[in-house]
Amino acid sequence: MKFKKKQTLLQIASLLEVDFIGDKEFEISGINEIHVVEAGDIVFVDHPKYYDKALNSDATTILINKKVACPEGKSLLISDDPFRDFNKITNHFNPFIASKVSISHSAVIGENTTIQPNVFIGNNVSIGENCVIHPNVAIYDNSVIGNNVTIHANTVLGADAFYYKNRPKGFDKLISGGRVVIEDNVDLGASCTIDKGVTGDTTIGNGTKIDNQVHVGHDTVIGKKCLIASQTGIAGCVIIEDEVTIWGQVGTNSGITIGKGAVILGQTGVTKSVVGGKSYFGTPVSESREKLKEMAEIKRFLKDRKNS
């Protein structure tokens, strides 16, 4: 999530009411999660296990819960609760603004696009040309939709990430400040849910077709010309490269990559990253030919055991 105007280290420290290490005029351009940080970003870390990863990341300001040596060219914000203060930054620079109308006056809708009855379109949404948005679709704030996109009934774009911190009194939510980006020529079936990024974009690439009742988690990037069948659940921060086919009732772990041209057969649990150009099946996932051979061997073994 980029700020509309660059901030200084002192400005952010004053907002959070925390101490800092570094030049008070040090520039900060936004906030991001560790896997997508860039120079100018703030990243937060609240566990010693991840200190080194955060300090050595591309982020140039680290919101951290302990005073440590500050790497050269970077700055630190010292907080007793980085999770809370990361939320405070999101709320300050990207506050929730309640809608008063079904289609926001700030939404931009292209020529020859059809909006069916009972569609909700939030603030600062952009929809391209020649799209069809069917009844009861909800498009949350800041979503971006390209040209020639079809979205079927009851689909939701831009719900919050499923991201919580376990506190003694309950689960504390990490506030989502990202977007959903749907590129050109995408079809989304009925009752799909596409969560927005925590700080970045959840993206569906050009020409991808998604069946009914598919869930796409926060910050996931789906490539071009993918086919994803019904009842598939894709976790957050997944990368699905171009021309991947995913059949029905597949589930994935978070943070994995599915390589270009891979085929994931139905009811597979994609528990790890897989390379492209191959077919996969089963839980835990393996190449389909190997899995089928394993199943045949087990069947043969059980048959021989029964007959012995």
For residue 214, the Cα-to-chain-centroid distance in whole angstroms is 14
3-state secondary structure of 264: strand
218 included as an active-site residue:
yes
Among candidate residues 134, 152, 215, 218, the one labeled active-site is 218
Residue 289 amino acid letter: R
Contact indicator for 32, 59 with CB cutoff of 8 Å: yes
Alpha-carbon gap, residue 283 to 275, rounded angstroms: 16
Which residues are known to be catalytic?
A: 218
